[in-house]
Chain A
Amino acid sequence: MNVSFNKRDPVYIQVVRQFKERIATGTFEPGQEIPSRRELANQLKINPNTAQRAYKEMEEEGLIYTEGNNPSRITKDEHVLAAVRGELLEEAVDSFMTSIRRIQIPFDELVEVMKEKYQEQSGKEGGEIK
Chain B
Amino acid sequence: MIEVKDVTKKFGRKQVLKGVTFTAEKGEITCLIGINGVGKTTILNAIMALTPINSGQILIDGSAINKKSYEKITFIPDAITMLPQMTIGQSMQFMQDFYESWNQERATELLGFFKLKPEEKISSLSKGNTAKVNLLLGLALDVDYLLMDEPFSGIDIFSREQIANVFTSHLVEDRGVIITTHEINDIEHLIDQVVLLDDGVVVKAFNSEEVRENEGKSVVDVMREVYQQ
Contact = CB atoms under 8 A, between A and B. Distances in A.
B170 A38 contact: yes
A42 B28 CA distance: 16
B218 A11 contact: no
A38 B169 contact: yes
A9 interface: yes
Interface in A43-71: 44-50, 53
Interface string B197-224: 0000000000001001100111111000
A48 B176 CA distance: 12
B107 interface: no
Contact of B189 (A5, A8, A42): A5
Contacts of A44: 168, 189
B165 interface: yes
A67 B189 CA distance: 29
A47 B194 CA distance: 13
B213 A45 contact: no
Contacts of B170: 38
A22 to B, nearest CB: 19
B213 A48 contact: no
B166 to A, nearest CB: 10
A41 B167 CA distance: 9
A7 interface: yes
Nearest to A4: B189
B3 interface: no
A12 interface: yes
A13 interface: yes
B78 interface: no
Given A42-B168, A46-B168, A11 B173 contact: no
B209 A50 contact: yes
Contact of A11 (B164, B169, B189, B216): B189
List the 6 closest pairs (A to B, CB-CB), nearest first. A7-B218, A10-B213, A10-B212, A41-B168, A42-B168, A46-B189
28 contacts: A7-B188, A7-B212, A7-B218, A7-B219, A7-B220, A7-B221, A8-B216, A8-B218, A9-B212, A9-B216, A11-B212, A12-B209, A41-B168, A42-B165, A42-B169, A44-B189, A45-B168, A45-B190, A47-B167, A47-B168, A47-B189, A47-B190, A47-B192, A48-B172, A48-B173, A49-B27, A49-B28, A50-B189
Given A47-B29, A48-B173, A50-B209, 16 more contacts: A7-B218, A7-B219, A8-B218, A9-B216, A38-B170, A41-B168, A42-B165, A42-B169, A44-B168, A45-B165, A45-B189, A45-B190, A47-B190, A47-B191, A49-B28, A49-B192
Interface of B: 27-29, 164-165, 167-170, 172-173, 188-192, 209, 212-213, 216-221
Interface of A: 5, 7-13, 38, 41-42, 44-50, 53
